[in-house]
Amino acid sequence: MYLYHFGFSELPFTLTPNTNFYCGLRGHDEALQVLLTALKTGEGFIKVTGEVGTGKTLLCRKLLNEIPEHFATAYIPNPYLPPEELRHAVASELGIEHHLEIDQHQLTREIERKLVSINKGGRSVVIIIDEAQALPNESLEALRLLSNLETETRKLVQLVMFGQPELDERLATRELRQLRQRISFSYELETLTEEELARYIHHRMQIAGFKGPSLFHPDVIWWLHKGSRGVPRLTNTLCHKMLLLAYGSGRHALSVTDAKMAIADTEDAVMPKRQDLTWFFVGFSVAVAIALGAAFLLGWLPL
């Protein structure tokens, strides 16, 4: 493996959402601040959406690490559950014993008692659900009913949902309009710009222990950005393959050819077309021609 070939202390581009590699890009930092602010103000439903690979799970785990201690959290990473199993998952996270031995009516009562108990102890409960687009409609409705639990002054439970854009599509339907109206804060994660992608790659290299000058030159970054469409997970895959290619041929430098080969070998990557560059130069030439024409008309340049 290329670990020692490049002087890394750990692999820089694994797909595991490791919070040690959290980069603090604008979108992710903004989303984290929205989440923390909404939780501190006691909002009931909070939603974060983003395309596959944009870092939702990493952000979710970052939130779990950063959330203030007075919050008691219930983390549901695999929500493809019917309402009954979802309630058991919440009960397990809240530390309710023998929850598997009671019926659904009793279980709901036990969850309510536990929420009241935690609230009386001066803490707030947050249920955090990753991949929320996988929740069945009945389970989404169960969550809405759970969010109804409140004292005279505050909610007993707050809910944070992380999901793909399909979650927004489902929430837009008539059947889920009551839940949609409960969402008080939402944020949409976007893909990375070329500048952000360069910073993201440099950051991961540094965290992994790389000490030398950047291996990813601007022309390589351009190809990686086009090929990955600014998606962090795809960027990780492409960078990993490029490092393997260089290691396999005994090189310590990365090239555009490595980027092209990595893109061609990756299922969801997009090979940039020559038109991308052609239209750039055409557009640049047209802009120059227009500027020169305007200058002649205004008399700034002699005929």
pLDDT band at 152 (very low <50, low <70, confident <90, very high): low
Residue 84 confidence (pLDDT): 93
**DSSP conformation class of 130:** S
Predicted confidence (pLDDT) at residue 82 exceeds the cutoff of 90 = yes
**Mean pLDDT computed over 94-115:** 91
Q: Each residue of 27-61: pLDDT tens digit?
A: 999 999 999 999 988 888 899 999 999 999 999 99
Q: Is the pLDDT of residue 154 over 90?
A: no
Mean pLDDT for the stretch of residues 283-296: 42
- Residues 270, 275, 280: CA angle, nearest 5 degrees: 110
pLDDT bin (cut points 50, 70, 90) of residue 274 is low
Q: What pLDDT is attached to residue 303?
A: 47
pLDDT of 2 above 90: no
pTM score of the predicted model: 0.84
3-state secondary structure of 246: helix
Sheet with 157-163, edge to edge strand ranges: 71-76, 124-129, 157-163, 45-50, 183-189
The pLDDT tens digits of the residues spanning 228-260 come to: 999 999 999 999 999 999 999 999 999 999 999
Of the listed ranges 67-71, 253-257, 298-302, the one predicted with least confidence: 298-302
Q: Give the whole-angstrom CA distance, residue 284 versus residue 190.
A: 28
At residue 271, the pLDDT reads 92
pLDDT tens, residue by residue, 110-145 = 999 999 999 999 899 999 999 999 999 999 988 888
Q: Provide the pLDDT for residue 150.
A: 73
Give the pLDDT confidence score for residue 34 in this predicted structure: 93
**Architecture of the structural domain at 196-272:** Orthogonal Bundle (1.10)
Strand partners, 126: 73, 158
Ordered by start, the domain boundaries in the chain are 26-189, 196-272
* pLDDT at position 196 over 60: yes
Return the higher-pLDDT residue of 74 and 288.
74
What would the mean pLDDT of 197-213 be, rounded to a whole number? 95
The per-residue pLDDT for 48 is 96
d(CA 68, CA 72): 9
Written as six digits, the tokens of 129 are 């659900």
Instruction: Flag whether pLDDT at 215 surpasses 70.
Output: yes
Task: Give the highest mean pLDDT range of 34-43, 56-65, 177-186, 276-285.
Answer: 56-65
Work out the mean pLDDT of the chain and round it to a whole number: 88
CATH 3.40.50.300, domain 26-189, yes or no:
yes
